């Protein structure tokens, strides 16, 4: 097994499925089943999930909200999604804990690296909600930070796109996918796979990023098994 411990970033927007808002229960269950399989493979799984299906701070800023308040609302949205995923995992018989970067017991335990690692080593899935707890940082940045802190072997970015392309495949039909690519080449090509804060954190701390399509059931198991799907970004 190549990966002993991973940080899995899930898209909040993907959670809304086809309904366009909120949480689609079928998609939530699909995620829980895939995560359960990863645990059964012996992988320790830490998770950060976005909140874009409920509220996105930048959207609030564009509508007149103070940016800090908007980002704080977005942080709370990630915690709602974290609790939903915890419930779905519990339904599948998976032990899970929600840790929050903002104090809000009894909703979740206050995050610390030691606590997160202790739970991971005890076989729990650990969901870390609330982003970094600071405004102006995305959940991609929170994922990179938590992945580095928990000493993950890889940052698995589960999206609706099946990897990194030469251009946006939804806009450019001639775009081609990379099986792997270096951080430096992504800089040179100016490819937008995540915000630069997250990207630079991973590069400077030698944390590989694996971009793959989480919305296709079974893909998480395949990429953990070493199948050539998605794109690996590395130094």
Domain ranges (residues) in the chain: 5-234
Over residues 113-118, mean pLDDT: 98
Q: 115-120 — which CB contacts under 8 Å span 24+ positions?
A: 116/46, 116/146, 116/149, 116/150, 117/150, 117/151, 120/5, 120/44, 120/45, 120/46, 120/150
Beta bridge partners of 157: 9, 211
For residue 196, the cross-strand partners are none
Rounded to whole angstroms, the Cα distance separating 115 from 200 reads: 26
Q: pLDDT averaged over the chain?
A: 94
pLDDT at 130 over 80: yes
**pLDDT of 171:** 86
Per-residue model confidence (pLDDT) at position 43: 98
Place of tokens 């320790």: 44
Query: How far is residue 92's CA from residue 36's CA, in Å, rounded to a whole number?
Result: 7
pLDDT digit string, tens, across residues 38-55: 999 999 999 999 999 998
Lowest mean pLDDT among 84-93, 149-158, 164-173: 164-173
How does residue 167 score in pLDDT terms, banded at 50, 70 and 90? confident
Q: Facing residues of 5 across strands?
A: 44
Of 100 and 1, the one with more pLDDT: 100
Tell me the chain's radius of gyration from C-alpha atoms. Answer: 17
211 contacts 159 by C-beta, under 8 angstroms: yes
The answer on pLDDT for 90 being more than 70 is yes
pLDDT in the model for residue 58: 64
Is the predicted pLDDT of residue 209 greater than 70, yes or no? Answer: yes
Backbone angles phi, psi at 82, to 5 degrees: -60, -45
Q: How far is CA 110 from CA 4, 113, 130, 133, in A?
A: 24, 10, 10, 11
CATH number at 5-234: 3.40.1160.10
pLDDT given at position 65 = 77
Closest listed residue to residue 98, CA positions, set 88, 106, 90, 108: 108
């Amino acid at each position: 097994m190549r990966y002993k411990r991973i940080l899995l970033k899930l898209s909040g927007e993907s959670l809304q499925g086809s309904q366009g808002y909120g949480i689609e229960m079928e998609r939530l269950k699909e995620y829980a089943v895939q995560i359960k399989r990863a645990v059964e493979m012996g992988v320790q799984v830490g998770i950060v999930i976005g909140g874009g299906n409920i509220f996105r701070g930048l959207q609030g800023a564009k509508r007149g909200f103070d940016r800090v308040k908007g980002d704080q609302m977005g942080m709370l949205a990630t915690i709602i999604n974290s609790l939903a995923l915890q419930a779905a995992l519990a339904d599948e018989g998976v032990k899970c804990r929600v840790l929050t970067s903002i104090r809000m017991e009894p909703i979740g335990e206050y995050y610390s690296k030691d606590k997160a690692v202790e739970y991971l080593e005890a076989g729990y899935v650990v969901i870390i909600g609330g982003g970094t707890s600071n405004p102006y940082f995305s959940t991609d940045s929170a994922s990179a930070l938590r992945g580095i802190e928990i000493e993950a072997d890889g940052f698995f970015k589960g999206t609706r796109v099946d990897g990194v392309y030469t251009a946006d495949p939804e806009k450019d039909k001639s775009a081609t996918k990379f099986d792997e690519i270096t951080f430096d080449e992504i800089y040179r090509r100016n490819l937008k796979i995540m915000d630069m804060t997250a990207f630079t954190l991973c590069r400077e701390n030698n944390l590989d990023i694996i971009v793959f399509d989480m919305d296709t059931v079974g893909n998480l198991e395949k990429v953990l098994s070493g199948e050539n799907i998605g794109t690996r970004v590395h130094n």
